[in-house]
Structure 1
Amino acid sequence: MSLLQIENLSVQFGAFRAVNNVSLTVNRGEILGIVGESGSGKSVSMLALMGLIDAPGVVTADALQFDGQDLLHARPAQKRKLIGKDVAMIFQDALSSLNPAFTIGAQLVETLKLHLGLSGAAARNRALELLELVEIPDARARLAAYPHQLSGGMSQRVMIAMAIACNPKLLIADEPTTALDVTVQAQIMDLLVSLQKQHDMGLILITHDLAVVAEVAQRVAVMYAGEVVETSPVPDIFSTPRHPYTQALLASIPEHSKGASRLATLPGVVPGQYDRPAGCLLSPRCPYVQPRCHTEHPPLQATPQGTARCFYALNDAGSPTHG
């Protein structure tokens, strides 16, 4: 049984459906990469799983199963026991996620007290242990520091420490290296993967960086305009992308444009609330578009490696299979 199973998750804000029928699974000890442009619904999908979508947002799903427990129909008290303890999330901007009015130590202790019932010296010792685990130098002194006294990389390490404080079974990392320099990015990713392996956690990695996905993930889900458009194991999605959008993402990697006068791009933008096509959401931008694509919305269909939301899924040669 999968550690996490999401079936047809949707998030609606008024008349706008920001996430539409997203289905994903994550196994224990597996790293799933979720990729796509800004505005594709990656973060909103995971915030909905965490119960962090506020009104007027409305979350619906056919199933939200975590470790055999039904999150969709769980009582608020049951969810509070799970979220933050067994399911934890590292948010995009560490500095805005940490409370500027409290020390790092106080915020770590609060997490430990809430979920593990630790207090006093036991909580402080565990907080120190966590900072050392995420390789923060002079960890004891950092317990008394405020968020504004830390660098971006240090703040991100504190967020990781808070997320793993209760040894979660599933960790969601939302763009964990955003706004960090390249050297620190590599250190943070190495740390995350090391902790994931040590604790056999499931890890959902939301990122724009396909190189990171290629290096650490086992499977990938590609999202576009609030929908999953392709899922596949990592080696296959790089060698034989089945969806035109996945192909365009891979073509946009600078290394693939060596010798060309311009980088490869996909014209147009992700459709918003008022310009959504009637058929395939990629149809205004797709180089392989057919008349059918403008009027019919394609379902997520099985491919040799996974799934793709395309009537004319690309073959091994990178062209439509029929049409």
Structure 2
Amino acid sequence: MSHHEPTLLRVRNLRVEFGAFAAVDGVDLELGRGELLALVGESGSGKSLAMLALLGLVDAPGRVSADELSFAGQDLLALTPAERRRLTGRDIAMVFQDAQASLDPSYSIGFQIEEALRQHTGLRGAAARARALELLEQVEIPAAAERLQAYPHQLSGGMNQRVMIAIAMACAPRLLIADEPTTALDVTIQAQIIELLLKLQREQGMSLLLITHDLAVVAEMAAQVRHQLAVMYAGQIVETGTLPALFEAPRHPYTAALLAALPEMSAGQARLSALPGIVPAALDRPGGCLLAPRCAWAQARCRAERPALVQGLRCHYPLGQVPAPGSRS
């Protein structure tokens, strides 16, 4: 290995604005080579939008800005749209949540994988066919040779998601971004897809950025591999840390509430009161901490003053530390 700078992806103060509204509001992320980062938040938290911004896929009227947006030391914001597309096809690959919608129903699986290979690696003919077969085997599709001739409607949702992952892996990307890759699938299949992504990440030495609203998916991974977690709420990152440590002692009330809602956490007790309410919309962002209206621990300071992200935490009164002033604990 030649030695490069260890950070593959660096994001500083990423903003995505629609008019005066910041849907992504100052996000910082860092991902090292061969590392795994899970980005978690409810729908409406801005997590998918942050990734589209990274890939250069935010359309007008959305405006993207950042102090830094770099991949392997390259400034993404300085690239032309064509250069950006080339990079995202080759070095950065993406798997979206709904394979059925991403695959073309009128072409065979084999044709679609070979098309991706031709576009990004220039392979054609027998070489492309052989590589397509190899990719299907890599994503553990049984009887792969027969499946090359199949059409998406002939495969199950889980199999189609594996095909999507095979297409993403076609150029041996250095970073794979998986946006809610298991949402449309049932629980046992979800676990298999996560298992597969972790296996590919390990074997290929690639970095993996997993976006999900489902902490159970992250818990599934935490059991197998130590990795980074960033929790997002209303366009901001509220807590970052390493798993499983972060699960054992969450410091942010929002992280704690997400954990409390996991079935295995609330076993044997009355359903834990997860957060009432929803992520605030564009027009009702509170003035202080964005979580304050939903937070049982909120104090006057929380309603008045927005906390900064300090050492991976955006909270005036972290859990498990001194009781908040004026709280009757």
Category of TM-score, reference length = shorter chain: over 0.9
Partner of residue 247, structure 1:
256
1:87–1:171 Cα contact (<8 Å) kept: yes
2:31–2:37 Cα contact (<8 Å) kept: yes
Deviations along 1:259-294, one digit per CA (max 9) or x if unpaired, are 323343111111011211011100101111111211
Partner of residue 214, structure 1:
222
Structure 2: distance between partners of 1:135 and 1:256: 32
Structure 2: distance between partners of 1:40 and 1:212: 22
Give the structure-1-normalised TM-score: 0.93
Structure 2: distance between partners of 1:107 and 1:181: 25
Partner of residue 120, structure 1:
125
Q: Which amino acid aligns with 2:145?
A: R
- Give the gaps of 5 or more residues in structure 1: none
Deviation at 1:212, TM superposition (A): 2.4
Percentage of pairs with the same residue: 61
Structure 2: distance between partners of 1:44 and 1:203: 17
- Give the gaps of 5 or more residues in structure 2: none
285-294 or 98-107, which deviates more: 98-107
Deviation at 1:194, TM superposition (A): 0.8
Structure 1: distance between partners of 2:23 and 2:324: 30
Q: CA RMSD in A?
A: 1.6
Deviation at 1:86, TM superposition (A): 0.6
Question: Residue 18 of structure 1: which of 6, 23, 41 is its match?
Answer: 23
Partner of residue 280, structure 2:
271
Question: Residue 314 of structure 1: which of 316, 319, 323 is its match?
Answer: 319
Structure 1: distance between partners of 2:122 and 2:165: 20
2:94–2:168 Cα contact (<8 Å) kept: yes
Structure 1: distance between partners of 2:158 and 2:11: 32
Deviations along 1:117-150, one digit per CA (max 9) or x if unpaired, are 1111111111111111111122222222221221
**1:300 aligned to 2:313?**
no
**1:191 aligned to 2:199?**
no
2:191–2:220 Cα contact (<8 Å) kept: no
**1:100 aligned to 2:105?**
yes
Task: Rate the CA distance shift 1:283–1:310 in 2: closer, same or farther, 3 A.
Answer: same
Deviation at 1:217, TM superposition (A): 4.8
Partner of residue 237, structure 2:
228
Deviations along 1:23-52, one digit per CA (max 9) or x if unpaired, are 000011111111111111111111111112
Q: Which amino acid aligns with 1:292?
A: R
Partner of residue 129, structure 1:
134
Partner of residue 109, structure 1:
114
Partner of residue 294, structure 2:
285
Partner of residue 67, structure 1:
72
Structure 1: distance between partners of 2:252 and 2:286: 18
Deviations along 1:192-239, one digit per CA (max 9) or x if unpaired, are 111100111111111212422422451100000111000011132112
Q: Which amino acid aligns with 1:233?
A: T
Deviation at 1:72, TM superposition (A): 1.2
2:299–2:324 Cα contact (<8 Å) kept: no
Q: Which amino acid aligns with 1:193?
A: L
How many pairs were matched up? 317
Structure 1: distance between partners of 2:20 and 2:239: 26
**1:4 aligned to 2:12?**
no
Deviations along 1:272-321, one digit per CA (max 9) or x if unpaired, are 1121101110010111111121122111012xxxx1111222235xx646
**1:90 aligned to 2:95?**
yes
Structure 2: distance between partners of 1:164 and 1:322: 52
Q: Which amino acid aligns with 2:293?
A: P
Runs of 4+ in 1 over 4 A off after TM superposition: 319-323
Q: Which amino acid aligns with 2:157?
A: G
Question: Residue 180 of structure 2: which of 145, 167, 175 is its match?
Answer: 175
Structure 2: distance between partners of 1:103 and 1:24: 38
Task: Rate the CA distance shift 1:263–1:81 in 2: closer, same or farther, 3 A.
Answer: same
1:255 alignment partner, SS class: coil
Question: Residue 139 of structure 1: which of 144, 153, 174 is its match?
Answer: 144
Task: Rate the CA distance shift 1:320–1:22 in 2: closer, same or farther, 3 A.
Answer: farther
Deviation at 1:66, TM superposition (A): 0.6
Q: Which amino acid aligns with 1:282?
A: L
2:47–2:211 Cα contact (<8 Å) kept: yes
Task: Rate the CA distance shift 1:157–1:187 in 2: closer, same or farther, 3 A.
Answer: same
2:194–2:221 Cα contact (<8 Å) kept: no
Structure 1: distance between partners of 2:271 and 2:220: 24
